């Protein structure tokens, strides 16, 4: 009955602490941890079924789902709740985008406590000014190094589970240059960051230079249509990277398909020509574990007290 109950509630069997331990072990395993973006819990379920090492919740995607640009308009509450929904359904560790920590150092501290409570495996906090901008857009600005160090020290100091991964993201490559970004990464590691994420590196040579200069685990961002060359997971692993995110990929795939489908219905008046491009009802029910819900429900209604 306990296993059926977990399934019926769509709750992962793996505890948050265990997911964090798996994530930390993965970061030091020598094998790159692939974290596709999950724009909802169902996508997170599919990511697990497809054999990836973890999932990712993108701040840009949370914004886009609310039909907002990625310019710091989402709230801590909105981001935490989406992270909670996704972490709850998967046995994989989930890393979440916490933007700038949603304010000053004390805000960054509160952000970490709420994300821990929500079951996330880790978060990244960036060194942009408030309000932030998408990391692959021009017009960004970063705070002084000491301001970001204070954000990180606050975040690290309130962490209750030492397994929760705090990743420092720097956007300085686009504003101050690669060498300045490397210097910032070293300062952020000294402040207690477990993982470093340098946004918008240009190509394999820059990824390699960064790896050679920084000792802590590194995360690469392979987002489409941005400033970075799209490198394979194998290439990044060979370069010594420990994790890679594909933050908006699943949303872009889905929205392109939705747009094409709506255009077809608008022009023809029917979706009949789209059936071979749809996920079948049977596959959806399989992902939802529909049969186990039914089995659980039947077991409850046939339960009787012994005399």
Catalytic residue numbers? 56, 70, 97, 99, 124, 126, 134, 169, 199, 221
d(CA 287, CA 140): 40
* End-to-end Cα distance, the chain: 21
Give 96's strand partners.
57, 123
d(CA 259, CA 227): 25
């Amino acid at each position: 009955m306990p296993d059926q109950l977990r399934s019926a509630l769509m709750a992962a069997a793996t505890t948050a602490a265990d997911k964090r331990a798996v994530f930390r072990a993965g970061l030091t395993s020598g094998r790159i941890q692939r974290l596709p973006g999950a724009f909802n819990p169902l996508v997170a379920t599919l990511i697990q079924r497809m054999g990836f090492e973890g999932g990712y919740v993108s701040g840009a995607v949370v914004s886009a789902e609310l039909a907002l640009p990625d310019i710091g308009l989402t709230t801590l509450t909105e981001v935490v709740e989406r992270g909670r929904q996704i972490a709850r359904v998967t046995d994989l560790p989930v890393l979440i985008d916490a933007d700038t920590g949603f304010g000053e150092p004390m805000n960054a501290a509160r952000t970490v406590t709420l994300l821990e409570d929500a079951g996330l495996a880790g978060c990244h906090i960036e060194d942009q000014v408030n309000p932030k901008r998408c990391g692959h857009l021009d017009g960004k600005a970063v705070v002084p190094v000491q301001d970001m160090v204070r954000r990180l020290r606050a975040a690290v100091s309130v962490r209750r589970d030492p397994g929760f991964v705090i990743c420092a993201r720097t956007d300085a490559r686009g504003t101050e240059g690669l060498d300045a970004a490397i210097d910032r990464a070293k300062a952020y590691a000294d402040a207690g960051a477990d993982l470093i994420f340098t946004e918008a590196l240009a190509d394999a040579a820059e990824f390699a230079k960064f790896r050679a200069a920084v000792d802590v685990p590194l995360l690469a961002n392979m987002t489409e249509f941005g400033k970075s060359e799209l490198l394979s997971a194998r290439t990044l692993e060979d370069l010594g990277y420990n994790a890679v995110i594909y933050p908006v990929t699943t949303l872009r795939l889905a929205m392109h398909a939705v747009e094409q489908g709506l255009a077809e219905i608008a022009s023809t008046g029917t979706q009949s020509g789209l059936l071979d491009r749809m996920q079948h009802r049977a596959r959806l029910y399989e992902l939802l574990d529909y049969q186990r819900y039914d089995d659980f429900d039947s077991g409850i209604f046939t339960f009787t007290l012994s005399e």
